């Protein structure tokens, strides 16, 4: 009887390990998808009633001033951030390798939220990352406090864009 390693004896260990990993992965996906479906279908809908027939102009005026249920309420939006002329904090919006892409990216940000960027100033920081290349950090600023920069980033994230608070 030899005590050496025989690969034929351990071939099923690798297969069963992979099967176990796949099983756990399938369970995790099923739980996540079930939670998504539960949230989707457990939402309560506002009660609706059939409209009453309108008899005259006075009834029509009352119907126009009735309570309106907002179907797509806006999420809680933080207060508008306050910009400072020489603030210490900025909000980094992008890191681009091309210097030519800076202005189009800034114009795209401003066009998506003109009210939010009304008093913002573009700040570009060149970052040489060695072997990874040179990046141009497109930042909006300037903010006197990190709280204002965080509020700005929260509004940016609600638009689906990444944002990082940084000091300059």
- Averaged confidence pLDDT in the chain: 78
Record the pTM: 0.53
Strand partners, 115: none
What's the confidence (pLDDT) of residue 134? 95
- The CATH code that applies to domain 89-167 is 3.30.70.1070
What's the confidence (pLDDT) of residue 151? 93
Is residue 151 classed exposed, middle or buried when 0-12, 13-18 and 19+ CB atoms within 10 A define those classes? buried
How far apart CA 90 and CA 122 sit, in angstroms, is 10
How far apart CA 93 and CA 124 sit, in angstroms, is 10
What's the confidence (pLDDT) of residue 8? 67
Q: Which single residue is written with the structure tokens 């797509």? A: 72
* DSSP-based three-state secondary structure for 37: helix
Region 143-151: mean pLDDT is: 93
What's the confidence (pLDDT) of residue 60? 58
The conformation of residue 99, written as its DSSP 8-state character, comes to G
């Amino acid at each position: 009887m030899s005590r050496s390693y025989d690969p034929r004896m351990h071939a099923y260990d690798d297969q069963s390990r992979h099967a176990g990993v796949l099983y756990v992965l399938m369970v995790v996906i099923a739980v996540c998808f079930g939670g998504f479906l539960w949230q989707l279908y457990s939402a309560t809908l506002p009660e609706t009633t059939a409209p009453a027939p309108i008899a005259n102009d006075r009834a029509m005026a009352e119907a126009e001033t009735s309570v309106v249920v907002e179907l797509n309420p806006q999420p809680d939006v933080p207060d508008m951030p306050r910009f400072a002329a020489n603030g210490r904090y900025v909000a980094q919006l992008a890191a681009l390798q091309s210097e030519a892409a800076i202005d189009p990216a800034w114009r795209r940000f401003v066009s998506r939220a003109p009210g939010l960027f009304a008093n913002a100033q573009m700040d570009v920081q060149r970052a040489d990352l060695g072997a990874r290349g040179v990046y141009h950090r497109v930042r909006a600023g300037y903010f006197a406090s990190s709280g204002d920069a965080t509020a700005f980033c929260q509004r940016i994230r609600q638009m689906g864009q990444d944002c990082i608070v940084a000091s300059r």
